[in-house]
Amino acid sequence: MLGKPLERRTSLECTDWSVFVNSTQDMSELADTVCCYINFCIETAIPTKTIKVFSNNKPWVTKDIKQILNRKKIAFQNKRDNDIKSIHKEVRATIRQGKESYRRKIEKYFKNNDMRKVWQGMNLMVGCKGNNSVEGEEGYANDLNKFYARFDCHDFVQEREECKSALLESLIRDRERIVIDESEVRKAMLSLKPNKAPGPDGVKPSVLKKCAEQLSGIMCEIFNMSLKECKGPKAWKTSCIVPFPKKQTVKCMNDLRPIALTSCVMTVFERCVMLHLQPLVSEFLDPLQFAYRAKRSVDDAILLLLIYILIWNNLVRLLD
Contacts of 269 (CB under 8 A, 6+ apart): 219, 223, 226, 232, 236
Helices 115-126, 81-111: axis angle to 10 degrees equals: 150
pLDDT per residue as tens, the chain (320 positions)? 444 555 556 778 888 888 888 888 888 899 999 999 998 888 887 777 777 777 777 777 888 888 888 888 888 888 777 778 888 888 888 888 888 888 888 888 888 888 888 888 777 777 666 655 555 567 777 888 888 877 777 777 788 788 777 776 666 555 667 889 999 999 999 999 988 889 888 899 998 998 889 899 999 999 999 988 888 888 888 888 888 888 878 888 888 888 888 899 999 999 999 888 888 777 778 888 887 787 888 888 898 888 888 887 776 665 65
Give the Cα separation of 175 and 167 in Å (integer).
11
pTM above 0.75, yes or no: no
Query: What span, in angstroms and rounded, lies between the C-alpha atoms of 97 and 103?
Result: 10
